[in-house]
Structure 1
Amino acid sequence: MNELLSPAPEVDARGAAGVLPELPGRMTEPLRREMTAFRRDLHMHPELGNQEFRTTGVLKARLERAGLRPRVLSLGTGLVCDIHPGLTESPGDRRPMLALRADIDALPIPDTKDVPYRSTVPDRAHACGHDVHTAAVLGAGLVLAELARKGELARPVRLLFQPAEEVLPGGAADVVECGALDGVASIVAVHCDPRVDAGRIGLRAGPITSACDRLEVALVGSGGHTARPHLTTDLVTAAAKLATEVPALLSRRVDARAGLGVTWGRIEAGHACNVIPQRAELSGTLRCLDLDTWREAPDLVHAAVDEVAGLYRAKCELNYVRGVPPVVNEPAVTALLREAMTARAGAASVESTEQSLGGEDFSWYLEHVPGAMARLGVRPPGDPRSRDLHQGDFDADESAIATGVELFTAMALLGV
């Protein structure tokens, strides 16, 4: 028995259509331990977007040890690795390729956990679970490579390790420009979800995340003495009104079901209590649940900001930074993910999930090929604590890595 594969245990995988096929490619305990150790190594050495040189290097080395030929992206970080049936690419092979995507960057926040694998880099942490995503795709790649050697992989699979997911507008757009989707027919990914128990996934056809853009507004005026605001451009009042009125205006200019909202994270103006400043700044984010409304959002925001600023005779500079559109899961690919997870762990391992207001640059891939993202449960079953993403104490139940591996391998084996 190969050390990366073990016999599939008996699983009740009956779905609405009857008994699903039993699939090969189960992980062994040695591979589970290796992927847990690999994830912990990444967790101890987090790297920010477009700086993931060490991460790229260790991934490349492990894939080469498995007899594969990973290719570092021209961006300098990130890589792709193709696994062909029989491990040999056949000229003219037009079988549709499935891409398994993982994001490899970390966040610029401190790791506050007291664990042996705590980050060794100050103010850097894998607080969004990208280390889990990466270990799951790597583990799946190692299993699929062994199946390819045995003649049990019927379709080519591309492993895609993407840099800079946390950097707007997201590294995915650059990866697409590098040609990483050439030959790809569909793409899937997972995202850690601390609200879902480990061993389970959450699925939703259609939109599963929100669009997210960044707004930077500067108001400019003459300024002056607070005793004579009528002789000045009162930028503090203008900024305060803009902060409250722009979200209110937008809420009356789009369908409420589109879920468009602006939230400010920074307002800065002035340094003295009796001086009206000559400049005020606001920055925040726009989030939107609907793809069509997101496409219209820049024009809507520009009009609303100009209206409010004009009431106070303030000159306005708006820098609207496009972020990411919503991730819209293609129904047929979502159904295959459900079938794959059911085949591995039974129908009870899949739950419905809500659309999130978080952004994810996986959406850029879906502008080019159909695909879907699943929520990967990372909450220890029965644990009442809430460790949300993007917090320094975030951690994952590491059994989720095996769940991700099983999901990805089953997806690759189910066919087109």
Structure 2
Amino acid sequence: MTSPRSETPSELSPIQAGVLSPSSLVSAEIDQLTPQLIDWRRDLHAHPETAFTETRTTDLVRTALHAADIDTRNLPRTGLVADIGADNPTHLVGLRADLDALPVPERSGLPYASTVPGVCHACGHDVHTVVVLGAALALKRLQHLLVAADAAVRVVFQPAEEVVPGGAHDLLDAGVLDDVHRIFAVHCDPSVDVGSVGLAAGPITAACDLIDVTLTGPGGHTSRPHLTADLTFALGKVLTDVPAALGRRLDPRAGAALVWGTVSAGNAANVIPATGRVVGTLRMLDADAWNTIGGLVTELIHGVVAPYNVHADVQHVRGVPPVVNDPVAVALLADAVRMTQGPAAAVSTRQSLGGEDFSWMLRDRTGAMARLGTRTPGGATYELHQGDLQIDERAIGVGTRMLATAALLSSTAVSTGRSGPSL
């Protein structure tokens, strides 16, 4: 994996030197915007759209940006891009949001719960969308600061983060980030209290691949498994034996986990089916192990099913590398959090096994992803990708202030003058 490029610190901007206060300027704008941002978030939450179908979501964002006199450009399928600030800037900062929902039924009971059967925003992308939208609207009102610094901010509303391969490839192939120097993103974290933001330099997510296995055989009667191929039994062995074998073929320090998400085979109790399928994800913390794993999973699956006279078709789709946060970008986010939320609001976070296609955007430019606290203090801790997810909407203002302030800090200075965060 190519390490993100580090930038050499040199000088402070007037904002960072204290002549101007980005936090007060940003906060004043976002205080006015927050009620509308909450309304937009609830609208998006009630009308979720899955990967590459986010037309209504894209239309809402486009309408809001156009109303603020911000021009937009469409991405190849769904999603859009907009620039705020100087024309032909010497420094261009990116802010990225992901638009798509998950094929998960909502069971939150909220008054603005999903109206789309079997689909909901179980990962908080509705929050990510309005946070970046709010930052764009606030920065438009403060555009004179960007123009004075010969800088601009590009907001990117990306489709299809939840699928493999994800929508990041579309915008990279379209050259949307070719001239972006640094990029920031947020991800909801329901294990962190609202008002706090989790930050860390280095890898904070895992590599993630898709494993799709289809078994085929002649099928037959369950009274005579010896005369056919017991496909369901073989499928069960794939489910249990392959993850176990993988744990003995990879260095434990790689932090690998193969976990199945869907299983299907047959529809009658007395019939051995002729086909069955299991699909899951392979995740690992170690990027080097991800780069070298090659055909190991396929080899193990074929070895496990060989005694059962069934054929295995294995699709191993490479997904995403880990998100690796640049230290200078993390330091900028930390400053922004402290300015807008107070000195204790920036907290450390650990690497997780979650995957994120924001990682592809950090291959050739610096940047960082922050974990936005969404838990009500003293309230329940929810899990992402579950239909009961609830988010304290105060997180919207926290995330918007942080991103807009970080964009100003990054846009109006060559660097913070530090090599890493001071969390």
- 1:404 matched to 2:404? The reply is no
Please tell me the root mean square deviation across aligned C-alpha atoms, in Å.
2.5
Q: 1:82 to 1:241 in 2, by over 3 A?
A: same
How far apart, CA to CA, are the structure 2 residues paired with 1:227 and 1:303?
Answer: 31
Corresponding residue of 1:130? 125
**Is the 2:85–2:146 contact (alpha carbons within 8 Å) kept by the matching residues of 1?**
no
How far apart, CA to CA, are the structure 1 residues paired with 2:382 and 2:320?
Answer: 25
Corresponding residue of 1:327? 323
Corresponding residue of 2:382? 387
**Is the 2:95–2:183 contact (alpha carbons within 8 Å) kept by the matching residues of 1?**
yes
- Aligned with 1:347: secondary structure? coil
Render the CA deviation track for 1:313-347: whole Å, top value 9, x for unaligned: 43221122232222222222222212221232233
How far apart, CA to CA, are the structure 1 residues paired with 2:188 and 2:376?
Answer: 12
- 1:282 matched to 2:283? The reply is no
Please state how far the C-alpha of 1:403 moved relative to its aligned partner. 0.8
Please state how far the C-alpha of 1:18 moved relative to its aligned partner. 11
- Aligned with 2:28: secondary structure? coil
How far apart, CA to CA, are the structure 1 residues paired with 2:75 and 2:51?
Answer: 14
Please state how far the C-alpha of 1:263 moved relative to its aligned partner. 1.6
Corresponding residue of 1:13? none
How far apart, CA to CA, are the structure 1 residues paired with 2:393 and 2:28?
Answer: 14
Q: State the AA in 2 paired with 1:43.
A: H
**Is the 1:298–1:320 contact (alpha carbons within 8 Å) kept by the matching residues of 2?**
no
Please state how far the C-alpha of 1:116 moved relative to its aligned partner. 3.2
Q: State the AA in 2 paired with 1:176.
A: L
Please state how far the C-alpha of 1:199 moved relative to its aligned partner. 1.0
**Percentage identity across paired residues of the two chains:** 49
Corresponding residue of 2:115? 120
Q: 1:178 aligns with which of 150, 174, 177?
A: 174
**Is the 2:76–2:170 contact (alpha carbons within 8 Å) kept by the matching residues of 1?**
no
Corresponding residue of 1:26? 27
How far apart, CA to CA, are the structure 2 residues paired with 1:135 and 1:220?
Answer: 46
Q: Unaligned 5+ residue runs, structure 1?
A: 1-16
| Greater shift in the superposed pair: 234-243 or 188-197 | 234-243
How far apart, CA to CA, are the structure 2 residues paired with 1:344 and 1:369?
Answer: 26
Q: State the AA in 2 paired with 1:45.
A: H
Please state how far the C-alpha of 1:211 moved relative to its aligned partner. 2.1
Please state how far the C-alpha of 1:291 moved relative to its aligned partner. 1.4
Corresponding residue of 1:358? 354
Q: State the AA in 2 paired with 1:334.
A: V
How far apart, CA to CA, are the structure 2 residues paired with 1:106 and 1:300?
Answer: 32
Please state how far the C-alpha of 1:261 moved relative to its aligned partner. 1.7
Pairs within 5 Å for 1:27-46: 27-28=28-29, 29-46=31-48
Render the CA deviation track for 1:50-108: whole Å, top value 9, x for unaligned: 11112211211221222221112122x211111123xxx14xx4x23110001112222
Q: State the AA in 1 paired with 2:238.
A: L
Q: State the AA in 1 paired with 2:329.
A: V
- Aligned with 1:348: secondary structure? coil
**Is the 2:146–2:152 contact (alpha carbons within 8 Å) kept by the matching residues of 1?**
no
How far apart, CA to CA, are the structure 2 residues paired with 1:363 and 1:315?
Answer: 35
Render the CA deviation track for 1:269-314: whole Å, top value 9, x for unaligned: 4556665544343222211112121223341111111222224343
Q: 1:230 to 1:33 in 2, by over 3 A?
A: closer
- 1:70 matched to 2:66? The reply is no
Corresponding residue of 2:288? 292
How far apart, CA to CA, are the structure 2 residues paired with 1:20 and 1:215?
Answer: 54
Please state how far the C-alpha of 1:168 moved relative to its aligned partner. 2.0
| Greater shift in the superposed pair: 236-245 or 140-149 | 236-245
Render the CA deviation track for 1:11-44: whole Å, top value 9, x for unaligned: xxxxxx9999842322343212121122122222
**Is the 2:194–2:376 contact (alpha carbons within 8 Å) kept by the matching residues of 1?**
yes
Q: 1:151 to 1:389 in 2, by over 3 A?
A: closer
Render the CA deviation track for 1:123-169: whole Å, top value 9, x for unaligned: 33222111111111111111111211356762211000111112222
Corresponding residue of 2:83? 82
Render the CA deviation track for 1:372-403: whole Å, top value 9, x for unaligned: 111001111222x1222222221211111111
**Is the 2:102–2:120 contact (alpha carbons within 8 Å) kept by the matching residues of 1?**
yes
Q: 1:220 aligns with which of 216, 224, 237?
A: 216
- Aligned with 1:30: secondary structure? helix
Q: State the AA in 2 paired with 1:238.
A: A
How far apart, CA to CA, are the structure 2 residues paired with 1:273 and 1:52?
Answer: 40
- 1:240 matched to 2:236? The reply is yes
Q: Unaligned 5+ residue runs, structure 2?
A: 1-15, 415-423
Q: State the AA in 2 paired with 1:146.
A: R
**Is the 2:210–2:280 contact (alpha carbons within 8 Å) kept by the matching residues of 1?**
yes
How far apart, CA to CA, are the structure 2 residues paired with 1:114 and 1:230?
Answer: 50
Q: State the AA in 2 paired with 1:112.
A: R
- Aligned with 2:337: secondary structure? helix
- Aligned with 1:407: secondary structure? helix
Please state how far the C-alpha of 1:191 moved relative to its aligned partner. 0.4
| Greater shift in the superposed pair: 232-241 or 253-262 | 232-241
Q: 1:38 to 1:221 in 2, by over 3 A?
A: closer
| Greater shift in the superposed pair: 218-227 or 312-321 | 218-227
Q: State the AA in 2 paired with 1:191.
A: H
- Aligned with 1:115: secondary structure? coil
- 1:198 matched to 2:194? The reply is yes
Q: Higher relative contact order by CA 8 Å / sep ≥ 6: 1 or 2?
A: 2
**Is the 2:203–2:323 contact (alpha carbons within 8 Å) kept by the matching residues of 1?**
yes
**Is the 1:234–1:276 contact (alpha carbons within 8 Å) kept by the matching residues of 2?**
yes
